[in-house]
Structures are given as C-alpha cells and as structure tokens.
Structure 1
Amino acid sequence: MAVHPGDLEAKSTPQLVLLTFDDSINDINHELYKEMFETGRKNPNGCPISATFYVSHEWTDYRQVQNLWADGHEIASHSISHSFGEQFSTSKWEAEINGQREIISAYGGVPVEEVRGMRAPFLSIGGNRMFKMLYNNNFTYDSSMPVYENNPPSWPYTLDYKIHHDCMIPPCPGNSYPGVWEVPMSMWQDLNGGRCSMVDACTAPETAEEVYKMMIKNFERHYTSNRAIFPLYFHAAWMTTEHHKEGFMAFLDTLSKMDDVWLVTSWQAIQWMRDPQPLSTVNNFKPFACDHPERQRCNKAKKCNLWHKSGVRYMSTCQPCPDKYPWTGATGVSQS
C-alpha cells in the first residue's frame, strides 16, 4: 500500500472529507439535507460541498433521489431489503445490491453506470461472495469495512491484493478482485476513548460544544498527520437530536471555510486517488467540478401507490410507475 498517494507531502495534500448517509431518502430527512447542502457551503473551487447517499429501497422517495443526484451528489446502493448479508450467496448479493442499482436507475433517473458503489446493511459484509458480485457487475467500490489501525489513518485501496488490515467484522474477502476499491471506514474515537466506525455509533456527547469537539479531535488526527481521507459516516436520524445537529453544522461550517479541505463524494475521492493532485492544482481538477448539465431534476413527480407486505407503499418518481412494488428478485426492470 502506498505510504502516500502520488508521493505528495502531507502539507501539499488536499484534505478530502467524505460525508455519507445510509438508508432511505424521504420527507423525514429532506429538510436536513436542504439545510446542509443548499445554504451556501462551498469547496475551495467554489462548487457546493457534496455527499454520497447509500440508498436502501423501502420508504425511499425517488424524486428526492433524482434531485440530490442532479445537485451533484453521488447515489450508491445500500440494498433493497436492508438485511444482514453475511450468509448471502453471490447471486443473492447481486439481487440485493445490483437490484437496488436497477431500481435507483429506473425510478431515480440515475444512469446505472453512475451507481458505482455500495455499503452493506449493518456493515454485515459477505466476504468473497460479496466482492465477487461487485467484480462481476462492474461496481467500482465498497465502503463497508471498518479499519482499526488509525495511526496514521488508512487510505482507500484496491483489492488487487489481499487486504492489509485486520478483519473487524468477518467474513472479509480473502481473494483478489482487481480494480475493485475499498473506501475503508477509518474508526473514530469518542470523547471517552471508545471506537466507532459510524459517527452515530460513538458515545454521543451531551452538548453541541462536545459534539463539535469530538469531530474536531477526529478530524485533526487526519489533518495533522498524513491527510488520509476523513470519514463522516452517518444515519440521518442521528441529526434529529437538536444538539447533535447543531454541533455538526458548526463543524461543517468550519470545514467549508478552510481553503485546503474538500467535501467530496466517494467516487470523486477515488478519482483523486487515481490521479492525486496537490493543493497547487486541485482547484482545476475536473472530477471536482460542478457542471452537470446532463443531470435532470425531477420537478413533476407522480405518486405510485403499490401494495407491499400487507400495506400500501408510496413511491414518488418522474419515471413511469411500476405495476408491482419493486423488491428483491422482482425489481420489474428487464435485464438489458
């Protein structure tokens, strides 16, 4: 594993930050995302900050998925049924993860080839069976594996070779999957010294000031050492506690005012890993630009009312409504 991408010195390396959210996108978290992304927070090149959304299917509003994508965010797969997958076969992983990619494309208007990554529900990965599915279906990356060693913090890496770190949640892949990336979940420390791979799994501080302090402490471990990509991995529900949200928004404001810090998507981070740009040139790095004329917003959505699990599910979409509620193994999308 490269000590540092492109042999850049830490001080000339842009500090990339990955803000990600798991699970469904709907009216419950719509206002939060608006407050985060539509109130003027920018990267150093003047583009809006961006995030990656690992979207699970049930209760998702695909109109909102399409609009987040049109605004420059990344949409990735978090499975259809949101089930524990450590026992899944390769074909079951395909039905869940690739199936959700098909659904995101069919109802969220995101081209299939732009749904490039996945995160396993509950971080319950499926070892070689899951990674073989990613390889077979031309996914670019997974982001489900916590990495404990954090001194200095870990960079994303490819699975051309066996993984170089301890397997925190088995089964981990033992084989090589050339070209498939892992965007690791570098572990955080809470203020009590406990470890967590998603921010909302940390022991929650009791005030907005302590939330801010915990975030700065973890950020500085990256920023003042090798500047490995810094993870901000959440479920939106964590922000429904007012002081959590207040501390986080203050932290976001701090980051978006720094001229060497970039909030980018997982896919943008991988493109930077492939072609590492120093601070002197990164403002002109094409993958970090925000010109997306081909991405259409969904303004006039229709509401599809569909029966599922003895109840009605509502699906908003700008695409045609399906005849049946899409589900694992029955996405309603014909295989091209």
Structure 2
Amino acid sequence: MELLCVDGYPYLNRCPSGLYFDDISKYCTFKAEARCGPIPTTPAPITEVPLDLATKCEPAECQLPYCFCSKDGTLIPGGLDPAETPQMIMLTFDGAVNLNNFDKYKKVFKGKINNPNGCPIKGTFFLSHEYSNYVMVQALAHDGHEIATGTVSQQQGLQDKGYEEWAGEMIGMREILKKFANISRSEIVGARAPFLKPGRNTQFKVLEDFGYIYDSSVGVPPLPIPVWPYTLDYKIAHECKSGTCPTKSFPGLWEIPFNAHYVESFEGGHCPYLDQCVLHNHDANEVFEWLQEDFSRYYEQNRAPYMMPLHTNWFQIKELELGLHKFLKWAADLEDVWFVTMTQSLTWMTDPRPVKALNNYEAWRCDNKELPSAPCNLPNKCALSFKQPDSNFTDTRYMETCSECPNQYPWLGDSGGSGIPGKDNYIPENLKRK
C-alpha cells in the first residue's frame, strides 16, 4: 500500500492484487522487482530565510550620520531639494600608477580647474600593486588626492575566494602603500574589488574588520534615475549586476555604487567605467556632448554624485582625453558643481548642507589640510626578483620608492618584500587604521 497526496491531504492507496509497492520508484510493480523499505530519508531543503540576511530599508530606523538608505536608492540625503544639493563629481582612477599614465593624470588636475571655494580639484586613486611606481603614488597623495586600495595581484576569480585571500589582497595592498609610498593606514579608507566583482559577504567582512569606511565595487544597471551611495545596514535597493554583492548587513560600512553611464540613444552602449563605452570613433566634441548628456541625468534630477571612473586606456586616445578636459572645464563653470574625493562625498552625506553654505564648509577646504610628506628627490630604483606562486620561473620587477629596497618584489603574503613566503599575518586588532 502507499500514501498519495491529493490537494495537500494523504490518502491510503492499495496496490492491485499480485503487485507490490516499490519504495524507491514509488509505484506498484511485480514482487521480484519491488524494492522494499525502510529507505534513508532526505531532509527537506530549508526554505526559511536565514536570520542574518539584510532586510529591506527602514528609513525611520536608518538615520544619518551612521546609516543611510532609501526604498529605491534615489532619495537625496537630508531631505534637500535638488536645487539645494551640490552636484558632486568624483574622478576615480584604477590600477597601477607609473610612467604610462602619471603625466596624463597630473594634466587632469593641473588645468587650473577649481571648485567654487577656490580649491583645486582632486581625485581618488584605487591602486593595484604590480608595476606601480610608489614615488609617483606618494606625489599624488602629497598633492591631496585620495589613495584607496585595489588589490595586490588583480587576480581573476577573487570573488569566490575566502577571507584570507581577500585580506591578503586588500590589506596587503594597504600595507604596501604604507611601507613604500609612506601613506598611513588612517588615510586609506576605501577599497574596490577587481573587475567590479565583489566578494559576496567575505570581502565586506574583511573591510569591516580592518576599519575601512567604504567600498566602491557594486555595479548598478542602467536606470532612469541614478542611485545615491548608501550604507550596508540594509538590503541593497537595486539589482546587483555582478551577482556577488553582499547579502548580510554590515552596519555603517558605505557603498559608493557604479551607476551605469549611457545616453538616451544608447550610442556607445552602457558601461560602469567610462573607457568601457565604445567612444573611440568619436571626435573630442562628440565625446564632450556624450559626457554632457550622461551627466545631465544626475544634474537635472536627483543630483546623485557623478562618478567618472577611468583606466589608463581612456588617455591613450587623444579625442577621449580632449573631450574629457573640455567636459571638466564646462562642468567647473556651473556654480553648484563640486569636484570631490570619495571620502569628501561621504563626509557631506553624513551631514548634508545646502549648496549655498559650502564655500566655507570645513571638510572641503584646502588651506589647512595636513598632507602626506612629499616624495624624496633621490628615490631608490629597485630591481627585484619575482616568482609567481604558481610559476617555475623567476622574473625581475622594477619598483621605485623613497623607502629602502626590499629583499624581493612585494607580493601576496609578503607585503614587505622580506623574501619569506607567507610572512604576513593579518590580525584586525593590529592593522586597523593606525
């Protein structure tokens, strides 16, 4: 006999005379073929939502300066009207800094473009290690630009790795910047995952444990109204493009997301990094107009910060470079536009002020900021042995720094270049922002 379920109710069903019930296949068959129980039971899959998943935004419970969210991510903090809200522009640069791009980057900021308070504009650099020149990195920090961490190796597939791998990549990168670019941990408060593939909850646990203030790795699909930065106290309000966003709550840790760049006609496609849109066949004026239209979606609506993420690739095409410079000069002439670093944007968000009150806003002034020391005049040019962990060959890497040359090229597990594999031991209590 067997029990049948019909509309949620069990009914006893007997096999016809001469047949026997098969407990494996769940039907009546001949005695010689029937397999009788009892058989091991398989636990039913757990369908309840895990208790530690982030929940939907509760604006009444999420109050600045420590928490910010909105139902769809588009609301302006502080309840300001768009006309009262400064349009922030954040120039960000990913990857190594070296002779291939240093002068190009400096040219962006040496064009006599100033903010309404007279301060020169600044950017944020998400540094990766390989091929970086740390004298140049130190010069950028000394000039007032924000330095943040990418990863040591820029490896593919990091999103699926564990806590130790993420700590080795991001905290290792911060230690390299501290030792070889003379930038203190307290100045390095932001991070970005390689290829915009966040490491699910693992990456954000590392950032939380080691005292970071923000991440900027989460991509947003093309939306008619852009998304503001938010804290990760609650569930992300938009679709996660990578599929590897955090699902747990990380109270107080900010996310500065990648709104997609695009124009109404979708000419050039849509892209998180500007150099990933297909604009290489445009002249400088067309690039300028494309950026204008993309920017207007922010400026004419909710004034969400307009992040302009770039790689070296952008500056290898003259028309793109000229179009960018033309856009920056045009935007700087708008009286309510401010060029800020990532941290400066979050400082404003924690205490929103109307645009008319910003000329004397302490956090955006430039006359009394303590900057990292200037780079030395005679840096060390280090030729260092380097062997990838999965390689049988030893190569030579060249690295410039004002610090002493290490024994070998710094890498994962040996951020100081001691030559002792696995020397690093990252303990949050010892390596928070000190």
Which interval holds the TM-score relative to the shorter structure?
over 0.9
AA aligned to 2:152 is I
Match of 2:400 in 1: 316
Alpha-carbon distance in structure 2 between the residues aligned to 1:329 and 1:192: 48
Match of 2:362 in 1: 286
- The structure with the largest helix share of the pair is 1
Match of 1:53 in 2: 125
Alignment map for 1:216-231 (pairs within 5 Å): 216-231=292-307
Q: 1:191 Cα shift?
A: 6.8
Alignment map for 1:96-175 (pairs within 5 Å): 96-148=169-221, 150-175=223-248
RMSD in angstroms over aligned alpha carbons?
Answer: 1.5
Q: 1:287 Cα shift?
A: 1.7
User: Is the 8 Å Cα contact of residues 43 and 262 (structure 1) preserved in structure 2?
Assistant: yes
User: Is the 8 Å Cα contact of residues 144 and 371 (structure 2) preserved in structure 1?
Assistant: no
Could you give the per-residue CA deviations for residues 10-46 of structure 1, whole angstroms, max 9, x where no partner exists? 0011100111000000111111112111231111111
Q: 1:281 Cα shift?
A: 1.0
Residue 287 of structure 2 corresponds to residue 203 of structure 1 = no
Residue 111 of structure 2 corresponds to residue 67 of structure 1 = no
Match of 1:295 in 2: 372
AA aligned to 2:384 is L
User: Is the 8 Å Cα contact of residues 156 and 181 (structure 1) preserved in structure 2?
Assistant: yes
Residue 306 of structure 2 corresponds to residue 306 of structure 1 = no
Structure 1 runs of 4+ with >4 Å offset:
333-336
The structure with higher relative contact order (CA 8 Å, sep 6+) is 1
Q: Output the TM-score relative to the length of structure 2.
A: 0.75
Match of 1:15 in 2: 87
Q: Output the TM-score relative to the length of structure 1.
A: 0.96
Given the alignment, which residue of 225, 244, 249 partners 1:176? 249
AA aligned to 1:189 is Y
User: Which sections of structure 2, spanning at least 5 residues, go unmatched?
Assistant: 1-68, 388-393, 418-423
User: Is the 8 Å Cα contact of residues 95 and 128 (structure 2) preserved in structure 1?
Assistant: yes
Alpha-carbon distance in structure 2 between the residues aligned to 1:303 and 1:237: 26
Could you give the per-residue CA deviations for residues 166-195 of structure 1, whole angstroms, max 9, x where no partner exists? 111021111000111100001111574122
Could you give the per-residue CA deviations for residues 298-335 of structure 1, whole angstroms, max 9, x where no partner exists? 03222122111332212111122222211011112876
Alpha-carbon distance in structure 2 between the residues aligned to 1:292 and 1:281: 20
Could you give the per-residue CA deviations for residues 260-307 of structure 1, whole angstroms, max 9, x where no partner exists? 111111111111110112111112122211233442110322212211
User: Which sections of structure 1, spanning at least 5 residues, go unmatched?
Assistant: none
Alpha-carbon distance in structure 2 between the residues aligned to 1:109 and 1:189: 38
SS of 1:245's equivalent in the other structure is helix
Alpha-carbon distance in structure 1 between the residues aligned to 2:380 and 2:331: 38
SS of 2:301's equivalent in the other structure is coil
SS of 1:305's equivalent in the other structure is strand
Q: 1:257 Cα shift?
A: 2.1
Alpha-carbon distance in structure 1 between the residues aligned to 2:162 and 2:362: 38
- Quick one: percent identity of the two aligned structures? 38
Alpha-carbon distance in structure 2 between the residues aligned to 1:79 and 1:66: 17
The total of aligned residue pairs comes to: 336
Given the alignment, which residue of 104, 115, 118 partners 1:32? 104
Alpha-carbon distance in structure 1 between the residues aligned to 2:242 and 2:141: 31
User: Is the 8 Å Cα contact of residues 222 and 262 (structure 2) preserved in structure 1?
Assistant: no
Between 1:117-126 and 1:17-26, the stretch displaced more is: 117-126
User: Is the 8 Å Cα contact of residues 222 and 270 (structure 2) preserved in structure 1?
Assistant: no
Match of 2:60 in 1: none
* Bigger Cα Rg: 2
